[in-house]
Chain A
Amino acid sequence: MKKNLRKALIYWVFGFLLLLTACVSTQKRLLDSDTSQLQLRSIQTRTFDTTNQEKTLRTVMATLQDLGFMLDAGEVGLGTVSGIKWVNIHPMRITVSVRPRGETQMLVRANCQIERKPVQDPLPYQRFFAALSKALFLEAQQVE
C-alpha cells in the first residue's frame, strides 16, 4: 500500500513537471532590439508613387478582401486598416498603415501577427505587397 502511494507520488510529480514545461517564461524583453526592429520595419514597409492617401487605403482594403481577410477596423485620419483571417482555427491579424512620404509618395507598412505572435518571415509581406502593387498599378492604369 505504502509502495503504491510512493509510486503514485513519483508519477504525480513527473506529471506536474511535464505540465510545467509548457509554462515557458514570457518575461522576456518587452521591446525588441533596435537592429531587429529596423530589419523588421524594412521587411514590412514599401513606398508607392501616389499622393492620394484615401485611395491607397481603399486599395489596401480591397487587397485585404481579395486575400480573404475580414475587415476589422479602418480610420482615414490615422490612415490604418486592420483585417483578420482564419486558417484551420489559427487567426492572422494584419494592420496596414498608409502615410504620406515627402511630396510624391505614400509609405505603406503592414504588420502581421499569427496567434498574437509577430510574423518576421519576409514571404507573407512580399505576397501582400505584390498583391497591393498589382491593385494600385491596375487602378493607376485605369485612371490614365
Chain B
Amino acid sequence: MIFHIILRVFELKMIRFREFTLLWGCLVLLVFAGCQTLPKPEEFLHPVSLEERQMQTRIYPSNDEVHILKVCTDLLLDNAFQIKEAESRLGWVDASKFKWIQNLNFSAFIRVSVVTRPVQGRSGAVAVRVIFHQAKPGQGIITVKDPAIYQEFFARLSKALFMEAHQI
C-alpha cells in the first residue's frame, strides 16, 4: 500500500520534473531506507520450541565429556568444517564452513555449535546439543530447522563413538 503511494507520488514527480526522475527516485529510496523499523528488543528473546531443543539434543552413555567433544570435533573436521572457537571447560566447539551449492551457483555459509554437558542426576550420561546455522540473504544467520540434518549428524556421531569404543 505504502509502496503504491510512493510510486504514485514518484509518478507525479516524474511528470513535473521529468529531467530529474533518476535523482528523485534515488532520493525517495534513500529517505525510506532510513525508515526501517527495528524489532523491539524483547522480540529477540523469544525462546525456541521444546521440539527444536529435542531435535538438537541427544544423550550418550559416557563419563568422559571431553572425549565426546573430541569425537565431535573430528566429525566436524571430516565434514570440511574449520574450528572457530573451542572451550573444553565449557564443553563447547564452534565451527564453520562454506558449502558450494552447484545448482544455485552459490556458496552458503554454515556455522555449527556443539555443546556437551553431563546430564544432571544421571551419572555416566553426556548430553550433546548441536545447532546448525546458515546465512540467508536478507535474514542474517539463522538456525537450520530441518530435522534430517540433525538426525544425520547424530547418526554419524553414534557411529564414530561406536567405532572408537570398539577400536575400529
Contact = CB atoms under 8 A, between A and B. Distances in A.
Interface of A: 4, 8, 11-12, 15, 18-19, 22, 54, 57-58, 61-62, 65-68, 70-76, 81, 84-92, 112, 114-115, 119, 121, 123-124, 127-128, 131, 139, 142-143
Contact of B43 (A62, A87, A139): A87
Contacts of A18: 27, 30-31
Nearest to B117: A58
Interface of B: 17, 19-20, 23-24, 27, 30-31, 34, 38-39, 41-48, 53, 85, 87, 89-92, 94, 111, 113, 115, 117, 120-121, 129, 131, 133, 138-143
Contacts, number: 114
Contacts of A124: 41-42, 44-45
Max count, chain A CB within 10 A of own CB: residue among B38, B42, B45, B89: B45
Contacts of B48: 65-68
A142 B113 contact: no
A76 B41 contact: no
Contacts of A12: 23
Nearest to B36: A90
B89 A76 contact: yes
A128 B90 CA distance: 20
A136 to B, nearest CB: 12
B61 to A, nearest CB: 18
Nearest to B26: A15
B131 A67 contact: no
A10 B64 CA distance: 74
A115 B39 CA distance: 11
A79 to B, nearest CB: 11
A67 B45 contact: yes
Q: Which 8 A-B pairs give the minimum distances between C-beta atoms?
A: A86-B140, A142-B120, A124-B41, A92-B44, A127-B45, A76-B89, A142-B121, A87-B39
